[in-house]
Structures are given as structure tokens and as C-alpha cells.
């Protein structure tokens, strides 16, 4: 008798940029981690994912079958080590490996839009996004620099509110460290200008609300400074005194367990958890993209997961990009994608 899997939450996995490693890590996850992929299905182009399944083939190992499904619920009827694909209309199909193109960008964005809308309608429990290429998005005329901003716009439209009233933040997490960013995909000059009391306080609120739900308690938040030595009392910059510290004080007045600003060159070590020893903080609030992402990625991109906080849906993704240099070789590591599925399932529970 076949097991009834209909109780398992449905998770859509977007194919990513068809010229990158997204399709092949999706295929590899379904082949190598069948237990983790129960209730999951890919959103994209069947031919693109069949090409990906072929490129990960190994001598003496059975190939990965690809099944075309008509709707999310059909994923429950697909056997293990088979890749269910929901074919979207209008996609161009396989793109040349490793080449930036407008069509690949359009296809990648279309998959994200479909999955976001399905999640907002309650048809799926979560979405996991395979990597897309920001240059390809721009070439396609997509007005958003990445997944986060595109999902924010979709959620705001669904809620009938301006984008400014749907604030979101990026969190990168693994077993050892979590970090949330005040600003995301902007130039460094703009990121520095974004360190304002309002932006830091808003990030603290979003972080507190999201992690309170997932941890079941209020998180202890360590806040990084912007400048070396967290400004050294104003000697190396005043952002800590004029923006970050006032935001922390306001957050603490609201009952948020925030601490800092601390020197950015040591706070991540203080927050890092190890076997048998919890970190000093549950999460670090970083002032800009690379400040927060470098420490997490240094610990291993195979375990890192990107989570979008502040959305009325669950979205996770691997913490790496399209890797055009190795696309099509079948050597890409699917570990981060599998971790993203695990995280999505926990958050959707």
C-alpha cells in the first residue's frame, strides 16, 4: 500500500536561470535527497530540467526521470527520485550554458512570480528559489535587482499596499550563525547612507518578529557597527552615535533584546555557535550586504540558507549564485538547496 503523502506541505522550487547551475542542483536534490524532497516540485521548463537531469548522470547510476505535472497537488503522486515539473507557458526553454541572456532572465523571473503568487494564494506552503542572474534580469527589463525585491513587490501588490509598507530584510543562516542585513542589493555608498535610525530600528523589529516565531522566544540580537571599532566613540565616524545606538535604544524600549553597536570585526565570532556552546547572540544585525554575508559564507556555502524576512509567505534559497563557470558540468553541489528546503519546511510548519 502506498503511503498517503497529502499531509506533507507543498513546496515550489523555481528552476533559476536556465543558463546556470539552478536546474542541475534542483535535479541533483531530487536524485540524492529523496526524503527531503517529498512534497516538492519544480516550477519551470520541462526540457530545461530534463537537460539538467541528463548532465548530472553518472556511469552505472540510473538516470533521473522527469515528470510533467498539471498542478501542485500532483507532486504527491510522483515517486521518489523522480523530478516533478510544473511547466509554465511561454518559457523559451534551454539556454546556452554560462551565457547571460534576456530570455533566460525573463524565464527565471516568470518562475518566481508564479511561485510567489501561488504562495500568496495559499496554494503552496513555501517557495525555494534556485539562483538567478542579476545581469540577465536587467537585460530582460525586470525592474528589480534580485529575488528579494521582486517578492516584496508581489507581496505588496497582493496586499494592496505600497511597497514601502511591505518592508523586508535578508537573513543568511546556517547551523552556526545567523545574520540580517539593514540594506541589501545597493551600491556601498547607498548602503552607508541607508544606515539611519529608522532603517536600523525597522530591521530590528522585523528580525525580532521573525525569529520570535521560529525560535519560540525573543531572540538576543547583536548589532554590528558600521565603522572600524564601531566608530571608537566618534573618532572613526559618527554613524554609531547618531543612527545605530539611538535605534537600539528605541528597540529596547519596545522590549526587543538588542545589544550594541559592537565592533564588526569581532561580533560574528561572538555570535557563532559551536557544538555544546551557544553563541552570545541568536543573530547579528549587519549594516550592509558583504559585512553580513562574508562571515556566513566563509563557514561554508554548502550549509547556508537565505531567508526573506517580513513577507506574508515563506521563501528560502541557497546562499550561492548561478556559477556560470561550472554550469552544465554536473559538478555543482546541491547541499545548500537541500538545506533551503529543510528550512522552508520548518518555517512553514
pLDDT tens per residue, range 111-123 = 999 999 999 999 9
Q: Is residue 6 scored above 70 in pLDDT? A: no
Are the CB atoms for 284 and 169 separated by under 8 Å? no
User: Would strands 258-262 and 221-224 be described as parallel, antiparallel, or unpaired?
Assistant: parallel
Q: Is residue 3 scored above 60 in pLDDT? A: no
**Residue 60: pLDDT band with limits 50, 70, 90:** confident
Q: Is residue 1 scored above 50 in pLDDT? A: no
Distance CA(208)–CA(169), nearest Å, equals: 12
Domains of the chain: 1-167+310-349 (3.40.718.10), 175-299 (3.40.718.10)
pLDDT tens per residue, range 214-265 = 899 999 999 999 999 999 999 999 999 999 999 999 999 999 999 999 999 9
Task: Report pTM.
Answer: 0.90
pLDDT of residue 230: 93
Are the CB atoms for 144 and 153 separated by under 8 Å? yes
pLDDT tens per residue, range 192-211 = 999 999 999 999 999 999 99
Q: What secondary structure letter does DSSP report for 235? A: T
pLDDT tens per residue, range 273-320 = 988 899 999 999 999 999 999 999 888 767 889 999 999 999 999 988
**CA-to-CA separations, 118 to 157, 287, 314, in angstroms, rounded:** 14, 32, 11
pLDDT tens per residue, range 85-109 = 999 999 999 999 999 999 999 999 9
Q: What is the Rg, in whole angstroms, of the alpha carbon atoms belonging to the chain?
A: 20
Amino acid at each position: 500500500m502506498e503511503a498517503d503523502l497529502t499531509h506533507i506541505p507543498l513546496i515550489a522550487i523555481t528552476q533559476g536561470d536556465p543558463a546556470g547551475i539552478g536546474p542541475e542542483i534542483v535535479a541533483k536534490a531530487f536524485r540524492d535527497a529523496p526524503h527531503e524532497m517529498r512534497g516538492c516540485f519544480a516550477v519551470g521548463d520541462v526540457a530545461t530540467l530534463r537537460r539538467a537531469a541528463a548532465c548530472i548522470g553518472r556511469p552505472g547510476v540510473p538516470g533521473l526521470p522527469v515528470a510533467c505535472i498539471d498542478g501542485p497537488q500532483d507532486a504527491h503522486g510522483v515517486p521518489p527520485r523522480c523530478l516533478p515539473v510544473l511547466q509554465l507557458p511561454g518559457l523559451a526553454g534551454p539556454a546556452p550554458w554560462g551565457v547571460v541572456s534576456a530570455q533566460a532572465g525573463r524565464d527565471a523571473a516568470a518562475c518566481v512570480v508564479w511561485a510567489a503568487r501561488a504562495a500568496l494564494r495559499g496554494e503552496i506552503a513555501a517557495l525555494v528559489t534556485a539562483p538567478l542572474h542579476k545581469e540577465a534580469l536587467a537585460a530582460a527589463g525586470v525592474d528589480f535587482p534580485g529575488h528579494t525585491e521582486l517578492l516584496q513587490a508581489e507581496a505588496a501588490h497582493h496586499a494592496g499596499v505600497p511597497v514601502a509598507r511591505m518592508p523586508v530584510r535578508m537573513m543568511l543562516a546556517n547551523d552556526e550563525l545567523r545574520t540580517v542585513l539593514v540594506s541589501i542589493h545597493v551600491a556601498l555608498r547607498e548602503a552607508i547612507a541607508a544606515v539611519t535610525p529608522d532603517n536600523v530600528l525597522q530591521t530590528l523589529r522585523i528580525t525580532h518578529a521573525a525569529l520570535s516565531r521560529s525560535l519560540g522566544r525573543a531572540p538576543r540580537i547583536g548589532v554590528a557597527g558600521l565603522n572600524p571599532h564601531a566608530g571608537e566613540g566618534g573618532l572613526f565616524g559618527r554613524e554609531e552615535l547618531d543612527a545605530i545606538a539611538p535605534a537600539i535604544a528605541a528597540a529596547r524600549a519596545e522590549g526587543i533584546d538588542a545589544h550594541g553597536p559592537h565592533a564588526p570585526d569581532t561580533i560574528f565570532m561572538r555570535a557563532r555557535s559551536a557544538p555544546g556552546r551557544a553563541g552570545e547572540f541568536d543573530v547579528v544585525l549587519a549594516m550592509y550586504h558583504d559585512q553580513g554575508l562574508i562571515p556566513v559564507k566563509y563557514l561554508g556555502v554548502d550549509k547556508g540558507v537565505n531567508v526573506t524576512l517580513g513577507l506574508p509567505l515563506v521563501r528560502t534559497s541557497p546562499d550561492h549564485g548561478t556559477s556560470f563557470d561550472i554550469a552544465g558540468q554536473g559538478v555543482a553541489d546541491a547541499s545548500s538547496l537541500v538545506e533551503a528546503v529543510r528550512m522552508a519546511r520548518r518555517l512553514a510548519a
